[in-house]
Amino acid sequence: MTAKYGFYYEEGHDDLLFMDQTSVKLIIERLSSPPTPFVLYSLNQFRQNIDKYQNELHKLAPIRGRLSYSMKANYNPRLLTILKSAKAMLTTVSGGEMQLALSAGFEPSSIIYNGNGKTDESIQMAIDSGVLLNVDSLFDLEVILHYARQLNKIANVLIRVNPNLSDSNVHAYNVTASKTSKFGTNIDELEPIYKLIEQNDDKWIRLFGFHCHLGSTISNTQIISGCVKKLIELFNTKRFPHLRILNIGGGLNIDYKRYAKRTKNDDEEHIAIPTIGDYIQSIKDSIESFPHSIELVVEPGRSLIANSCVLITRVLGQKQTGSIRQLIVDASMTECIRPALYQAYHHIDTVNSLSTEERILFDIVGPVCESGDFLGKQRCLPKILKRGDFLAVFDVGAYCSSMSSNYNMRPRPAEYALDEQEQIQILKKRETNEDLLRTYCVA
């Protein structure tokens, strides 16, 4: 029998929530009244997601396909160890992420540094270490050239291209390739960048390819195909002898609502989510007739890590406010900001077996002093929920821990996983109030 990985409800075990082969209820008991909220990782699920991508990328042969994890989704160092073992690349968007990638032992040639506003220090670090830089704009290129001359080193670069495409199902804050995006250079305005590179080619700079990112939560493979076709045309130029890398970014969505049928809370419209196979096939269809040698890079973050984590929170109480029944929990927008920031859906359900109990609609809200502090609205949960009961907020692996904050002076939560012997590993300690004050200079 094949082992189950990730998070699932096991009907043969009183409908308890399981992580891999262990019930979450048992994990909580082993932690012995842990401070909540806290995060649980299924590292097996993360490994499985990596394997799915790499297996599909192998199907691109003879084109070389490479997986580059987008660190901004979640930069827990334990994840980087797994990615390094899988020979994945890393895409970074800050000097801090780049420094962490280098200190984790990744080869500089396996690290991409992306950003529309790079600092002087981070540009120098990238050039000095040999990290691959994304050129976002003409001014960005000018600064990169300045420091390449100063360091007497060649900067290895891609050009971030804006193809003026977008998926209509993507939240406006996640759109990164429309005509007015702050990222990249419009595809029809590349000539000034080309000319400056030509003037310095093989002396201070080498252009290895092109990069694009269509935005997060992509659900339309036709958009991906259109992007690849536009970028492929750029490789026909004879002006740059080192061209070989086509980096199409990431952004594949996951099905955040796959558990909704459990709670009969399935009223919202569902969007069909392409599989990883669909995603890679749409790329293959667009490049298989291309006559030149290409190294293709994809940069998923969300679809690698999101479904590998849940946030465990305790119920504080419930109250009626007008026509709304509110369930107050101790997790908040400081641990999971996506519902408040993007109006995003995260499934929320019980950890223990309460499946036979009457369910009613709740707005699930946190204790932060903001009216926008909610985790879910109008969700079906057991009517009998009381203070101290545990709930799980699903699919928080991406853009939750990395976007967490100390607003309202709230310590960021502990993060746990299970090792191969199903023993608890601490991936990150819970912050203390003393941690929050350590950097202040008190007179």
Residues noted as catalytic: 369
**CB-based contact 121:99 (threshold 8 Å):** no
Unique residue bearing structure tokens 């998923």 = 300
CA–CA separation, 244 vs 238, rounded Å?
A: 12
Beta bridge partners of 90: 69, 111
Residue type, 34: P
Contact 364, 373 (CB under 8 A): no
Question: For residues 202 and 240, what is the distance between their CA atoms, to the nearest angstrom?
Answer: 10
Residues near 225 by beta carbon (within 8 Å), at least 6 away in sequence: 282, 283, 285, 286
Per residue, what are the HEC states of 224-275? HHHHHHHHHHHCCCCCCCCCCEEECCCCECCCCCCCHHHHCCCCCCCCCCCC
| Integer Cα distance of 145 and 248 in angstroms | 24
Q: Transcribe 273-330 into DSSP letters.
A: ---HHHHHHHHHHHHTT--S--EEEE--SHHHHGGGEEEEEEEEEEEEETTEEEEEES
Phi, psi of 35 (to 5 degrees): -60, 135
Phi, psi torsion values for 57, nearest 5 degrees: -65, -30
